[in-house]
Amino acid sequence: MRLIRLRSQQGPGRQVFYCAWDGFDTHSSQDWQHWDLLAKLSQAMDAFYQASQEAGLGQQVTVFTQSEFGRTLQSNGTGSDHGWGNHQLVLGGAVKGGIYGQLPALALNGPDDANGRGVWIPKISTSQFGATLGRWFGAADGELDGVFPNLSQFLTRNVGFML
């Protein structure tokens, strides 16, 4: 948060701060590991959000999660295997709250299951997600096409979760 508070000294435009956190590749002991990881993520995102509010930067700061894969519904014994679809979290004063996309039918061999094991077919691509954030950053459509070359494959370029 100290770097964000110094934004006026950094020059114009928005800045991106990135952090990575591993440990979510839970093939075993998933029940307690995943719960613990999500609890820690929730606490960290809340603390960051509260600090941005206290600094008067709520509208200028957005925090989000991003992952290219999820987990299967079908267990492999004590966990699950790699899947496709996943939920992402977006938090900040410029975020229009809600659920975007369509939640999958949680049924093995159901309409959203790619292979009978609970590999969910995503309803929103990572390109659409990124392009929506990119628009908030001020990028024009042409710039987004250069960053997300697959964006033209989707009817909806802006998912709509940002003001």
What does the pLDDT look like over 144-159, one tens digit per residue? 999 999 999 999 999 9
In a domain, 25, yes or no: yes
Q: How confident is the model at residue 11 (pLDDT cuts 50, 70, 90)?
A: low
In a domain, 18, yes or no: yes
Q: Residue 2 above 80 pLDDT?
A: no
Identify the domain containing residue 80 by its residue range. Answer: 2-95
In a domain, 100, yes or no: no
Q: Residue 13 above 90 pLDDT?
A: no
In a domain, 129, yes or no: no
Q: How confident is the model at residue 7 (pLDDT cuts 50, 70, 90)?
A: low
- Average pLDDT on 125-129 reads 95
In a domain, 131, yes or no: no
Q: Residue 113 above 90 pLDDT?
A: yes
Q: 57-70 as b/e, with b when 16 or more CB fall inside 10 Å?
A: bbeebbbbeeeeeb
In a domain, 119, yes or no: no
Residues 16-30 have pLDDT tens digits of 888 999 888 887 888
Question: Would you state the pLDDT for residue 8?
Answer: 60
Q: How confident is the model at residue 160 (pLDDT cuts 50, 70, 90)?
A: very high
In a domain, 113, yes or no: no
Of 65, 66, 59, 132, nearest to 92 by C-alpha is: 59
Q: Are 162 and 62 in contact (CB under 8 A)?
A: yes
Query: What is d(CA 149, CA 125) in angstroms, rounded to the nearest whole number?
Result: 12
- Average pLDDT on 32-47 reads 93
Could you give the number of structural domains in the chain? Answer: 1
Collapsing DSSP to helix, strand or coil, 22 comes out as: coil
Mean pLDDT over each residue of the chain, to the nearest integer: 90
> How many C-beta atoms surround the C-beta of residue 84 within 10 A?
15
In a domain, 30, yes or no: yes
